[in-house]
Amino acid sequence: MKALKVVFLLHNVYGVGGTIRTTLNLASALSERHDVTIVSLMRHREWPRFEVDPRVRLVPLVDIRAGSADTLDPAFAEPAEVFPSAERRHHQYTRLHDERVAAYLRRCDADVVVGTRPGINVYLARFGPRRALLVGQEHLRHDAHSKRLRAQLARHYRDLDALVTTTEADAEVYRRRMPLPGVRILSIPNMVPRPHVLPSDGTAKVVAAAGRLVPGKRFDLLVAAFATVAERHPDWRLRIYGGGQQKEPLERAVEELGLRGHVELMGVRSPIEPEFAQASVVASASDAESFGMTLVEAMRCGVPVVSTDCPLGPAEIISDGHDGRLVPTGDEAALAKALLELIEDAPRRRAMGAAALESARRYDPEPIAARHELLFAELRSTRRRRSWRRVVPARARRALRRLRARGGGSAAVPARSASGSAGPDRTPREARTPVATSSN
């Protein structure tokens, strides 16, 4: 495959979070063969918190640091009009963001532009350069979006070339519930590089867990389940890594259950792999996961994971009984039982850890990057056919096929050509919808 110019649009590369890590990982892997740029729509500090591959170019669009010239721009004081109003981050976006993104994309000469969250995908659909392939990534589940946001997204996602989810289960939900003619809907999991730590030897009497301390992660359920573990194995410890709004309620639960000294809230750790490598089991009690980065990170450290079989990621990551355990969502007793099984059976625990280490190789950078490259090649080769599906209603397509089957010839169909030029009756992407429509 020839070298491409690839641009990622990211909310804020200077922050922390799973989408930032996965984007940096993918950008680094693609930079082996391609010219890669990350455009950060926000900048709130001087340097990114995560390491950035020196081959990857960083372009910040709006500097939100106090006193910066951008914060003094009148447009910075006005709410965004293009970024969808139902998107969770809408309050962080301004008219200045609308203007900067539009200006950048209009002059962008990339071959591929990738959006990394719903609102940014709307920017991409509205302003993306016509010659480029436009790929929207969804790092959250379809069902995690409000009905209002899904309606807003459906109007714009039809102008993308592809929509990429992190799980096949979520891709299937999009295919069923958000029909997008001409848009390739598929799943590609996040890549998780091999950590720079030795794998766990499975002997430490530690169960680890990590994530944001928010209700949906159900650390309260995990703490309650660990009370059963501590009763039978008081020498084992549960270490929870992360920060968030549930810290104080969790601290109270630890006290009320008499688990002080058995359960420890460790705070935020980044990277998390050195902590996982010091554990023998990793646990996740989430009600929902769009992917499950911490599950793969634990497996990469040779640690088996006990996870709830929640929608959508865990079942595509863990093979129950082989490299980890899956238990019903919200079932405290089942979670405690699975933890006890691994705690009380050291040979099985270590065998599962070895299997987890092997299974996690499918998230290596090389095969995941190759899947993206294959997608780019496929999108380029199918561009005209997909454009036809996009602009011609299904009923008309069926009538055309019947006409051709009878030998009636073919009809010309407007399409975005492989070189990126529009047909004579196509308007530029950004001209299809007024920029000032706040409901977008």
Q: Which residues of 287-313 are buried (b: 16+ CB within 10 A; e: fewer)?
A: ebbbbbbbbbbbbbbbbbbbbbebbbb
| Mean pLDDT of the 17-31 span | 94
Task: Give the Cα separation of 149 and 167 in Å (integer).
Answer: 20
Residue 424 confidence (pLDDT): 30
CA distances from 435 to 80, 126, 428, 431 (A): 10, 9, 13, 8
Instruction: Name the band, by pLDDT with cuts 50, 70 and 90, for residue 402.
Output: confident
287, pLDDT greater than 80: yes
Query: What is the per-residue pLDDT for 423?
Result: 35
Contacts of range 156-159, beta carbons closer than 8 Å, 24 or more positions apart: 156/121, 156/122, 156/125, 156/126, 156/440, 157/121, 157/125, 157/183, 158/125, 158/182, 158/183, 158/390, 159/125, 159/126, 159/128, 159/134, 159/429, 159/432
pLDDT at 408: 57
In the chain the domains, ranked by start, together with CATH numbers, are 1-191+364-440 (3.40.50.2000), 206-362 (3.40.50.2000)
Q: What is the mean pLDDT of residues 214-219?
A: 96
DSSP notation for 223-281: HHHHHHHHHH-TT-EEEEE--STTHHHHHHHHHHTT-BTTEEEEE--SS-HHHHTT-SE
**What pLDDT digit, counting tens, does each position of 56-80 carry?**
999 999 999 999 999 999 999 999 9
Confidence at residue 113, expressed as pLDDT on a 0 to 100 scale: 98
Query: What is the mean predicted confidence (pLDDT) over 384-403?
Result: 73
The two structure tokens encoding residue 295: 């599950």
Least confident of 99-103, 260-264, 358-362, 402-406: 402-406
Distance CA 10, CA 61 (A): 10
The pLDDT tens digits for 230-282 are 999 999 999 999 999 999 999 999 999 999 999 999 999 988 999 999 999 99
pLDDT computed for residue 396 by the predictor = 67
